Structure 1
Amino acid sequence: MTRSERLQQDGFEFLHAADTRAWLEQSGSLTDWPEFAASWNGMALDQYMADGGRYRRRRHAVFAAPVGDVAIARAPHQPHYQTVEYNPLHGGIERWFEPVPETIANGASMRTILRACRALFDSLSPGTSWHIETHQFRIEARSDEAGKPTPEGLHRDGVDYVLVLMIDRENIASGTTTIHGLDKVPLGSFTLTEPLDAALVDDSQVYHGVTAVRPLDPARPAHRDVLVVTFRAAQPQAA
């Protein structure tokens, strides 16, 4: 069974790092991976945390992938928006995050990831123009505050497809990704532990969430870094 067939049938797929690398490298190189991973350092705090938490840092970038053999292009910086239906905790407002640096957005690793996702999601939804959003997330954990990768809990993102890619874990316990059907029945779980471990999600078929993380050693810094990439069909332009 192909990757697209598994995703279509089950609504999700978990990939170990070696499998992710083999899939991604069909679409390009990861030659700048050390610089790519290091770019998670120094991100600003997420100022929109409705639970009052100070544990999430993030950056954001938007891309467009028109139908056909057209290169993926970065779009002007813009807010991230979700409806309250999909994100009761943070939905209904425009959230402006620090932009992903141009060197990272146009670097080999990011472009390879975007091309690989596009090829896969094109096979599932041929003839679609894609609105793509990328999110760099760092979730920090301290002895007095657990880090919540998904503070909104079990959720859908209101898109078509999602990639969650592990970048780094430092001094972290837990952080298990869980998948549930539309009836909320558990379908699977997987802990992203190694760089390039990944989860692919068909957002129309399943809910997903991640358990809170805590430090293994409370005296040391602890964080969980992931890249989240979402693809949704672009709205047609008005005539």
Structure 2
Amino acid sequence: MSDELIKTPEFQHLLSSFAYYIDVDLTHRIIDVHQIRVTCNDHTTSSAAPEGIHQDGFEFVGIYCVQRKNICGGFTQLFTSPVDQHPHLNTVLEESQFIIINDRHFYHFISETLASTHGEQGVRDVFVFTA
């Protein structure tokens, strides 16, 4: 991620919101942020979580949807175990929505994305916060 992006008021707001909701002091704890882009087209689906239902190995995970363009699918799903086939949450994170989960209590998965318009590329951009 670029320094320019990190310094924007919008990104700083996301970072401080994540820290607030997980109740941590940014001066005493490191928060990692990953920028993930998933693309798809007419012939290729894409998966943001090829490892399947999983935990990331942190105490908390936050997923912020930056952009959904020309896609269907990409459902955010939460489970209580890695073999649970019935999600407790099954929703599409729309642009500007932010979900924060306790990574020690829940497993998560993002379903495949498909292009919704023939002949055009689909894109899903998210920031994933971990602490």
TM-score calculated relative to the size of structure 2: 0.89
User: 2:46 & 2:98 partners in 1: Cα distance?
Assistant: 20
Can you give the 5+ residue segments of structure 1 that lack an aligned partner in the other structure?
1-99, 232-239
Q: Does 1:103 align with 2:19?
A: no
Find the counterpart in structure 2 of residue 67 from structure 1: none
| Larger CA Rg, structure 1 vs 2 | 1
The structure 1 segments of at least 4 consecutive aligned residues displaced by more than 6 Å after TM superposition are none
Report the counterpart of residue 151 of structure 1 in structure 2: 50
What is the aligned partner in structure 2 of residue 210 from structure 1?
A: 110
Structure 2 counterpart of 1:188: 89
- For the aligned residue pairs, the C-alpha RMSD in angstroms reads 1.8
SS of residue matched to 2:30: strand
1:223 aligns with 2:119: no
Q: How many Å apart are 1:145 and its aligned residue?
A: 1.5
Note if contact 1:140-1:223 (Cα within 8 Å) is conserved in structure 2: yes
Pairwise CA distance, 1:183 = 6.3
- The structure with the greater share of residues assigned to strand is 2
Q: Is contact 1:184–1:207 with CA below 8 Å preserved after alignment?
A: no
Q: CA deviation at 1:158?
A: 0.3
Amino acid at match of 1:174: G
Equivalenced residues, count:
128
Q: What amino acid is the match of 1:196? A: S
- Residues 18 and 100 of structure 2 are in contact (CA less than 8 Å); yes or no, is this contact kept in structure 1? no
Equivalent-residue separation in structure 1 for 2:98 and 2:90 (angstroms):
12
How far apart, in 1, do the equivalents of 2:81 and 2:28 lie?
A: 26
Q: Secondary structure of the equivalent of 2:31?
A: strand
Q: Distance in 2 between matches of 1:187 and 1:207?
A: 10
Residue of structure 1 in register with 2:41 after alignment = 142
Higher relative contact order (CA 8 A, sep 6+): 2
Q: Which runs of 5+ in 2 are unaligned?
A: none
- % identity of equivalent residues: 23
Pick aligned residue for 1:166 from 56, 65, 78: 65
